[in-house]
Amino acid sequence: MTNISDLKNMLLEEKVRLTNELSMVGHKNPEIEGDWEPSAPDLNNPTADVNDVADSIEAFEGNSAIEVELEARLLEVDTALARIEAGTYGICRICGAKIEDARLHANPAAPTCIAHREG
C-alpha cells in the first residue's frame, strides 16, 4: 500500500535537489513566477580571446539544455505535490485508475498508470 506521506517527502526532497541544481545553471525569471532561465556568461571581458568567448558560449548552450530538463522535472514534481493537496494524487490522469504502487515509488511524480505512461 502506498504511503502518501513518504511519497510527498520524496517529492519535497527532489524539489530541493532540483532547485539547487537549477541555481547552478540558471536563475529565476523575475517576470514570470516559477520560471527559470539559463544564466548567460559575461562576454564583455575586453581581455578575453576568441577561444574564451567560444568556450563561454558553449557552456551557456550546455547550461540551457540542462536548465530545460531540470525545469521540466521541477514542474512535474510541483504538479504531483499539487495533486496531493487536491486529493487526486495516485490517480491516472488518462483512465482514472489507481497508479501502481511500484510506479509511484519509482517515480513519485508519475501522472499516469503504467498502461498510459508516456513513451
Tally the domains of the chain.
Answer: 1
Judge whether 95 lies within some domain: no
Q: What is the mean pLDDT of each run of 10 residues along the chain (119 residues)?
A: 88 96 81 73 62 65 80 95 96 94 95 85
Q: SS3 letters for the chain?
A: CCCHHHHHHHHHHHHHHHHHHHHHHEEECCCCCCCEEECCCCCCCCCCCHHHHHHHHHHHHHHHHHHHHHHHHHHHHHHHHHHHHHCCCCECCCCCCECCHHHHHHCCCCCCCHHHCCC
pLDDT of residue 74: 95
pLDDT of residue 32: 75
- Domain, as residue range, for 24: 4-89
pTM of structure = 0.77
pLDDT of residue 119: 43
Judge whether 49 lies within some domain: yes
Judge whether 45 lies within some domain: yes
